[in-house]
Chain A
């Protein structure tokens, strides 16, 4: 202790007050000025960046003046417009998406089965952990030569690599999602009399939905990138190529503007699914339920 002597606090009288509503503070909430509000909008800010990028691209393209290696922004847009108008890009996109959806769906079904086995038995758990540990680090594209050997040139090979790219990511997330469902929620479900499949559908799947959704997103991202890459490598099957083939084909004919248009289409689909479709699903589910912060 220090050497200072401590004096007791002064004795003070008690007091009681009545509380009243506050007066004269003005509006509780005031709207922001218009310009400030516009810049608060992320879409507007990002749109401005895109416009800036397009400008830089156009200027650099004109300065370089080499349409074979680097077409200008406007040339690319023209090629894109022509590709869409002639129906080639939509057709190629449809082929790609169809292959993707088939592979994605098969991957999900197998993942769901594998996870169900994993949560119901210890052997299943060990099986799933071993499989995911082995196959998850293996890039799907590395299986392409084998797929070609097994399934030949065509859609089945593509579907095979997509299933591989979706399956492990989704199964891993689903399984860890199920494991992290709280004991209280499990017990609550069981006191309601839920058992077996009804318990899985009524409690486990919705409770694990944030993890499942994360798995679906990762699975989608893997599948999309894998598919475009696989199409680039051996693209065409029975005269029906996808977007990857469109890019490859136009490179062969040295139509670089169309190559750029193909790349932009790939980006557009990826963006649409990742930033729009999954966002909407998130907003309607995990964010509304307060299971994930917005």
Chain B
């Protein structure tokens, strides 16, 4: 972390074009996408389905090499997945069903050479942070969807990654739970101050969760705008400024939509 100063970005996405194969087509998911992520930022990738936002996140995670451009973390080109970029997925089955909650959180640390005692205490600490101390010995199938996502967040945080990647983590939750989870995530960020990349298709979620929103246009994904919204949170949801920003983003997405058809 030492070589990353306040002015140089932690993650650089530079002119990245991503393609993947389906049985019939070669799909271009993003076209020459560039943006930076600084230490401690909460960057939200926002766009309609088909804008390649999840694909960009997978590329940052190291699952997909760019066909053009490059992605760097602390000036190192990202070549493969690794524990310095922990990921929280949308699907509830991201937890390993054969391990207890505590073992699930401790497992990535054990894989990466953290001693059993330390992994255990860090797991308990992380689970306490997401209010799941009572459930450390439960198996994932006994938990509700929201609790499973909290475990996944605890698992990622306990690794102390350089960047936390979240791929629509709350999309499969009901509205009330989602709201609660967003508040908890922001609380956690206030406590620890990690760097977050968060993918969503909800404008409101983007503004509430993010400090900076990268708006993407679809088919193929390109950066449409980068907007600051650190000053807008839950408390400002009814404010005219929040509404104006939401309207502006909505117009961008809607215009692009009209162009695409």
Which residues from chain A sit less than 8 Å from chain B, CB to CB?
182, 184-185, 187-188, 190-194, 198, 202-203, 206-207, 209, 285, 288-291
The minimal Cβ–Cβ distance linking B22 to chain A, given in whole angstroms, is: 14
Q: In this assembly, does B147 line the interface, its C-beta being within 8 Å of a C-beta of chain A?
A: no
The minimal Cβ–Cβ distance linking B6 to chain A, given in whole angstroms, is: 28
Interfacial chain A residues near B139, Cβ < 8 Å: 288-290
Contact A198-B111, Cβ < 8 Å, known A191-B87, A289-B141, A290-B142: yes
Q: A187-B63, A191-B86, A202-B111 are in contact. List 10 more A-B contacts (CB 8 A).
A: A188-B89, A190-B63, A191-B85, A192-B83, A192-B111, A198-B111, A206-B96, A288-B139, A289-B98, A289-B139
Interfacial chain B residues near A207, Cβ < 8 Å: 96-98
Interfacial chain B residues near A194, Cβ < 8 Å: 111
Interfacial chain A residues near B141, Cβ < 8 Å: 289-291
Interfacial chain A residues near B97, Cβ < 8 Å: 207, 289-291
Interfacial chain B residues near A193, Cβ < 8 Å: 81-83, 108, 111-112
Q: In this assembly, does B61 line the interface, its C-beta being within 8 Å of a C-beta of chain A?
A: yes
A288 CA to B112 CA in the complex, in Å? 27
A185 and B112 form a contact (CB under 8 A):
no
A191 and B111 form a contact (CB under 8 A):
no
Q: In this assembly, does B236 line the interface, its C-beta being within 8 Å of a C-beta of chain A?
A: no
A194 CA to B80 CA in the complex, in Å? 11
B89 and A184 form a contact (CB under 8 A):
yes
Interfacial chain A residues near B93, Cβ < 8 Å: 182, 184-185
B142 and A203 form a contact (CB under 8 A):
no
Nearest-neighbor residue (CB-CB) of B107 within chain A = A192
Interfacial chain A residues near B91, Cβ < 8 Å: 182, 184
The minimal Cβ–Cβ distance linking B154 to chain A, given in whole angstroms, is: 14
A184 CA to B83 CA in the complex, in Å? 16
The minimal Cβ–Cβ distance linking B37 to chain A, given in whole angstroms, is: 17
Nearest-neighbor residue (CB-CB) of A189 within chain B = B96
How would residues 116 to 145 of chain B score, 1 for a CB under 8 Å from any chain A CB and 0 otherwise?
000000000000000000000001111000
Q: In this assembly, does B49 line the interface, its C-beta being within 8 Å of a C-beta of chain A?
A: no
A269 CA to B97 CA in the complex, in Å? 32
Nearest-neighbor residue (CB-CB) of B161 within chain A = A191
A-B contact pairs, 28 of them (CB 8 A): A182-B91, A182-B93, A184-B89, A184-B91, A184-B93, A185-B94, A187-B61, A187-B81, A187-B89, A188-B87, A191-B85, A191-B87, A191-B108, A192-B108, A193-B81, A193-B83, A193-B108, A193-B111, A193-B112, A202-B107, A207-B96, A207-B98, A209-B98, A285-B98, A290-B140, A290-B142, A291-B98, A291-B141
Interfacial chain A residues near B80, Cβ < 8 Å: 190
Q: Which of B98, B108, B142 gathers the greatest number of chain A CB atoms within 10 Å?
A: B98
Interfacial chain A residues near B89, Cβ < 8 Å: 184, 187-188
Nearest-neighbor residue (CB-CB) of B142 within chain A = A290
Q: Which of A192, A285, A288 gathers the greatest number of chain B CB atoms within 10 Å?
A: A192
Q: Which of B63, B81, B82, B108 gathers the greatest number of chain A CB atoms within 10 Å?
A: B81
B112 and A206 form a contact (CB under 8 A):
no
* A192 interface neighbour in B63, B112, B140, B142, Cβ under 8 Å: B112
A190 CA to B139 CA in the complex, in Å? 22
Interfacial chain B residues near A192, Cβ < 8 Å: 83, 107-108, 111-112
Interfacial chain B residues near A198, Cβ < 8 Å: 111
Interfacial chain A residues near B58, Cβ < 8 Å: 187
A188 CA to B80 CA in the complex, in Å? 13
How would residues 86 to 116 of chain B score, 1 for a CB under 8 Å from any chain A CB and 0 otherwise?
1101010110111000000001100110000
The minimal Cβ–Cβ distance linking B43 to chain A, given in whole angstroms, is: 18
A184 and B94 form a contact (CB under 8 A):
yes
* B81 interface neighbour in A184, A190, A203, A289, Cβ under 8 Å: A190
The minimal Cβ–Cβ distance linking B148 to chain A, given in whole angstroms, is: 12
A184 CA to B90 CA in the complex, in Å? 9
The minimal Cβ–Cβ distance linking B114 to chain A, given in whole angstroms, is: 12
Q: Which of A191, A193, A290 gathers the greatest number of chain B CB atoms within 10 Å?
A: A191
A184 CA to B63 CA in the complex, in Å? 12
**Within B137-173, which residues are at the interface with A (CB < 8 Å)?**
139-142
A211 CA to B112 CA in the complex, in Å? 29
Nearest-neighbor residue (CB-CB) of A285 within chain B = B98
Nearest-neighbor residue (CB-CB) of B97 within chain A = A289
